[in-house]
Amino acid sequence: MNAIKNASNRLIGETSPYLQQHAYNPVDWYPWGDEAFETAKREDKPVFLSIGYSTCHWCHVMERESFMDADVAGALNRDFISVKVDREERPDVDHIYMLACMSTTGSGGWPLTVFLTPDRKPFYAGTYFPKHDRGGRAGLLTLLAAVSENWRRGRKKLEASAERILSHIQEDGGGDLPSRMSGFGSIASQTASSLMAGYDSRWGGFGSAPKFPSPHNLMFLMRKGHDEPMDSPIWSAVRHTLSAMAAGGLRDHVGGGFCRYSTDRMWLVPHFEKMLYDNALLVMAYTECYEKTGEFAPVIREIITYVTREMSRPAGGYFTAQDADSEGVEGLFYCWTPEQVKAVLGDTDGTRFCFLYDITSKGNFDQMNIPNLIRMPLGGDDMSFSSIVLPKLYEVRSLRIPPLRDEKILLTSNALTAVALAKAGRALEEPVYTREAEKCVKFLLENLRDGRGLLAVHQSSIHATLDGYAYMVWALLETYQSTLNSRWLDEARSLGGLMVETFSGEDGLLYYTASDCADLPMRGVNAHDGATPSGQSVAAHCMLRLARLTGDAFWDEYFDGLVQSLSNQLSGNPQSHNWMMAALLHNANGGMDVTLTPGDGLETLRAALRGFHPFMTVRLDESTTLPKSTAYVCRENTCLAPVNDAAMLKNIIFGSVSAGV
């Protein structure tokens, strides 16, 4: 590599850790904004757009190979206006151009590389490019030369290509008006069957390597099988998958938390970056399974301990991610040799630990070892032994050079963390988790909101997308369910209204970007689930719950309109919309609504409501005063007689008492 030292570029003034990482590249980077595109128009140059995030391994590789290279920088600075974007800071920008990449190449990922006209329209897109041609793939230098030549000699073709791409992704994003669709319940059932058809009965999970946890897919299946026995095919697959992930190297057995995904079928070798949102969603999935089976409480507590210990900001909020690399080597921070283990634990305990956690002289990852329990689960004395020695290993490991931590405070990831904490606090009867959820939503409302609405990033002026609003409403609703503090329901109702006002489109559609967003070539519609559930699907869940908690028919009506606006997408590719399918199951089920009154015995009645009841909402009617707390249970617009006996309430909830007036 022809690397050169360079003074700082325009990114030096940005707050994003990812942009800061590129602030000393020799590339003359611009941040996303009008200045870059006005310069492109004035100098009559195409725009080279590079999108990534701070803990992205291949983003680091492309920087080292190309963006620190004098030859690449020379070509970019001469023939292009180069723009860097942090996808976590500007998910709306990432969304539009990822659609362009996927529509032209059939795949996507990061780093995302896109060539634009000066009016922000994409005409060519890809992901990682090596500096030089390699293995049949064009190198970046070759690509830059070709694009530059075509810009000078064949610009009309590039501009026509840009128009075609933009037109295609507008249609794919929901720009057309779909016809009505019936049979949503059967489609949800078919989706569950298709997902189960990909179940890996040997190693757990779905499909082949690489394997992603995709907790919201598991949560969809749990809703589909909510009333089935624990040994049913769905619950067996879910429990096996959660057990396999917890046994594998995907889980950090020494320090807690889970990595991004597994590179193999057996969950042994992860991509070692840790994302806050992944761990939040995993807490939710493990918690819901615990509510049904009583299993996985230690895993839930371990993840929350990791998040609160290593990802929390003292002044409030949670950091975004931890990198996969340390000292330039992926996974180095997390791996062990037998000698390293024995140096900490001594020969006897070290040998025992190595046997239990698959630490060998041969190694299971690049001559090193990822601790795992794939070979055999812990039991009896081994569990007690591990609880004693793991903290010792953690203490020594903390002296190593750690991976980079991305210390952005993102609205989306923090809202998902609040959801997880509220759900875990309620299920495990851990008031400290519930208090952390309240602390988190309070911080977000006070620090990531301005006169226009929610902000995407703490200490930034970037406004949130639909995902941010929907996740925040979800967090407020879950916090209300765990506390019955009416403040959080009032905030959820108000913010839900602002969400609809900000993102609504024709016929019930919700756009990904706000109506006043002016720096993108189009307003996207992101209904597909990805690493996290789509904002559309989360909004749909929230609408159903707001309808039941407030009695306002507006939310039911908007839910119907939203589903119909997406009907072509849902029917055409249901497996990409699993969390929306879960909302359709909720709607088809009708739900169970419980209203409690204050009074003696309130907490006893609340305890009777514990368990896996994914379609149940609980409300506290503070306007009614009775000597003894009373529960009013309604199913599908039919209400039972009020009860104030916890055992009777539990029987009602679990279905052993028939409906009556």
Residue 492 corresponds to which tokens in the numbers above?
A: 């959820």
The pLDDT tens digits for 208-220 are: 999 999 999 999 9
Distance CA 399, CA 335 (A): 14
Predicted confidence (pLDDT) at residue 93 exceeds the cutoff of 60: yes
pLDDT band for position 134 (cuts 50, 70, 90):
confident
The pLDDT tens digits for 485-494 are: 999 999 999 9
Strand-pair partners of 52: 86
- Residue 210: is the preceding peptide bond cis (ω within 30°)? yes
pLDDT of the residue at 2: 58
- Say what the alpha-carbon torsion angle 35, 41, 46, 52 is, to the nearest 10 degrees: 20
pLDDT of the residue at 178: 38
pLDDT of the residue at 137: 83
pLDDT of the residue at 218: 98
Q: Once rounded to an integer, what is the mean pLDDT over residues 637-641? A: 84
Sign of CA dihedral 448, 454, 455, 456: positive
Residue 28 backbone dihedrals phi, psi, to 5 degrees? -85, 70
pLDDT of the residue at 186: 78
Give the β-pairing of 270-271 and 261-262.
antiparallel
Extended beta strands in 117-230, E state: 122-126
Predicted confidence (pLDDT) at residue 436 exceeds the cutoff of 80: yes
Report the share of the chain in percent with pLDDT over 70: 96
Report the share of the chain in percent with pLDDT over 90: 82
| Angle, helix 553-565 to helix 535-550, in steps of 10 degrees | 160
DSSP-derived 3-state class of residue 289: helix
pLDDT of the residue at 331: 94
Q: Once rounded to an integer, what is the mean pLDDT over residues 108-127? A: 94
Residues 6+ apart with CB under 8 A from 511: 466, 503, 504, 505, 523, 524, 525
Residue 92 backbone dihedrals phi, psi, to 5 degrees? -70, -40
Extended beta strands in 346-498, E state: 405-406
Distance CA 161, CA 114 (A): 13
pLDDT of the residue at 568: 84
Residue 353 corresponds to which tokens in the numbers above?
A: 């630990």
DSSP-derived 3-state class of residue 443: helix
| Edge-to-edge order in the sheet of strand 592-596 | 616-620, 592-596, 631-635, 638-639
pLDDT of the residue at 175: 37
Cα–chain center distance at 530: 8
Distance CA 568, CA 547 (A): 25
pLDDT band for position 176 (cuts 50, 70, 90):
very low
Distance CA 287, CA 437 (A): 15
Predicted confidence (pLDDT) at residue 292 exceeds the cutoff of 50: yes
Distance CA 215, CA 232 (A): 19
109: buried, middle or exposed (CB in 10 Å: 19+, 13-18, 0-12)? middle
- Residue 46: is the preceding peptide bond cis (ω within 30°)? no
Under 8 Å between Cβ of 257 and 310 = yes
Distance CA 587, CA 620 (A): 22
Phi-psi region of 106 (alpha: psi -120 to 50; beta: other; left: phi over 0): left
The pLDDT tens digits for 501-546 are: 999 987 778 999 988 888 888 888 888 899 999 999 999 999 999 9
Judged by average pLDDT, the poorest of 172-186, 360-374, 452-466, 566-580 is 172-186
Distance CA 464, CA 449 (A): 9
Residues 6+ apart with CB under 8 A from 452: 463
pTM of the model: 0.91
Q: Once rounded to an integer, what is the mean pLDDT over residues 38-65? A: 94
Q: Once rounded to an integer, what is the mean pLDDT over residues 283-290? A: 98
Distance CA 626, CA 571 (A): 49
Among the listed residues 187, 297, 224, 189, the one whose alpha carbon sits nearest the alpha carbon of residue 614: 224
pLDDT of the residue at 210: 95
Specify the residue for token string 């999935």: 285
156: buried, middle or exposed (CB in 10 Å: 19+, 13-18, 0-12)? exposed
Q: Once rounded to an integer, what is the mean pLDDT over residues 23-37? A: 96
Return the half-sphere exposure (C-beta side, CA atoms, 13 A cut-off) of residue 577: 26
Distance between first and last Cα of the chain: 78
Judged by average pLDDT, the poorest of 166-175, 506-515, 593-602 is 166-175
Under 8 Å between Cβ of 468 and 475 = no
Give the β-pairing of 638-639 and 631-635.
antiparallel
**Residues making up the chain, counted from first to last:** 661
Distance CA 514, CA 499 (A): 9
> Chain-wide mean pLDDT for the chain?
92
Sign of CA dihedral 442, 318, 211, 378: negative
Give the β-pairing of 405-406 and 325-326.
unpaired
Give the β-pairing of 321-322 and 405-406.
antiparallel
Distance CA 581, CA 283 (A): 21
Distance CA 192, CA 232 (A): 13
Predicted confidence (pLDDT) at residue 571 exceeds the cutoff of 90: no
Residue 145 corresponds to which tokens in the numbers above?
A: 């030369």
The pLDDT tens digits for 339-371 are: 999 999 999 999 999 999 999 999 999 999 999
pLDDT of the residue at 5: 56
